[in-house]
């Protein structure tokens, strides 16, 4: 499941974040790449623990934990601290699959990467290229979202970032360990939850709502891992 979550940051907030990112110093993006991924990764990145990355990440997670769409779709259990990267001057990241397990620098906690997320800080008109290309069961999709919007997608998917040939593409990315490991089951629960919420708005007194809500929670109870 690919899910577009709009408006996590306002245009004014994005402008301030972009200004801070343009004024900071960057490191080679290979610092967080595995052995195989490092061969394909050509970008810039803020080091783990960088004060600006920590500040941006904290603001992102605070909003996501209050975002009904993210909570319903991701069913988050653990989140790897968000990182920030920049693609410019031909920078790219060829096809790869994200590492199955991540461990933040200085932490003993491991996060299983069920879901990947990319939050865009550059508008599509700010740069050429830089599409996030994702291969899934429905084919190949290319994504460039407005600044402040987030894309949620399975970390198991083959994906890449096309070369940026003009301008700069700023983004934050992170991984989520879901309460429900299987993407197919997670998608079914999300679709059921969405339907229940719509029914609650359209026919709030319908007697089937109680049964549907109970079925949702019984399925979640069967599939959840804590």
CA 118 from centroid of its chain's CA atoms: 4
Task: State yes or no: 50 annotated in a binding site.
Answer: no
- Interior/surface letters 146-171, b for 16+ CB within 10 angstroms, e for the rest: ebbbbbbbbbebebbbbbbeebbbbb
Task: State yes or no: 63 annotated in a binding site.
Answer: no
Task: State yes or no: 77 annotated in a binding site.
Answer: no
Task: State yes or no: 217 annotated in a binding site.
Answer: no
Tell the burial category of 78 from Cβ atoms under 10 Å away from its Cβ (0-12, 13-18, 19+): middle
SS3 159: strand
**Distance between CA atoms of 160 and 153, rounded to whole angstroms?**
13
Q: Return the structure tokens found at 71.
A: 């909570």
Q: Return the structure tokens found at 115.
A: 């879901």
Q: Per the annotation, where are the binding residues?
A: 96, 98, 159, 169
Q: Per the annotation, where are the binding residues for Fe cation?
A: 96, 98, 159
Q: Per the annotation, where are the binding residues for 2-oxoglutarate?
A: 169
């Amino acid at each position: 499941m690919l899910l577009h979550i709009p408006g996590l940051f306002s245009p004014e907030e994005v402008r301030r974040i972009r200004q801070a990112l343009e004024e900071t110093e960057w490191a080679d993006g290979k610092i967080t790449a595995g052995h195989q991924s490092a061969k394909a990764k050509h970008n810039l990145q803020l080091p783990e623990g960088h004060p600006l990355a920590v500040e941006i990440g904290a603001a992102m997670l605070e909003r996501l934990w209050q975002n009904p769409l993210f909570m319903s779709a991701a069913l988050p259990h653990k989140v790897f601290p968000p990182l920030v990267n920049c693609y410019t001057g031909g920078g790219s990241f060829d096809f790869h699959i994200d590492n199955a397990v991540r461990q933040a620098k200085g932490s003993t906690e491991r996060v299983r990467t069920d879901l990947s997320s990319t939050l865009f800080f550059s508008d599509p008109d700010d740069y050429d290229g830089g599409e996030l290309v994702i291969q899934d069961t429905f084919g190949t999709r290319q994504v460039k979202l407005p600044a402040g919007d987030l894309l949620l997608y399975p970390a198991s998917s083959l994906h890449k970032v096309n070369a940026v040939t003009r301008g700069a593409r700023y983004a934050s990315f992170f991984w989520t360990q879901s309460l429900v490991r299987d993407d197919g089951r997670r998608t079914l629960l999300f679709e059921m939850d969405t339907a229940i919420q719509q029914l609650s708005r359209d026919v709030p007194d319908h007697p089937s709502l109680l049964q549907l809500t109970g079925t949702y929670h019984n399925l979640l109870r069967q599939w959840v891992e804590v």
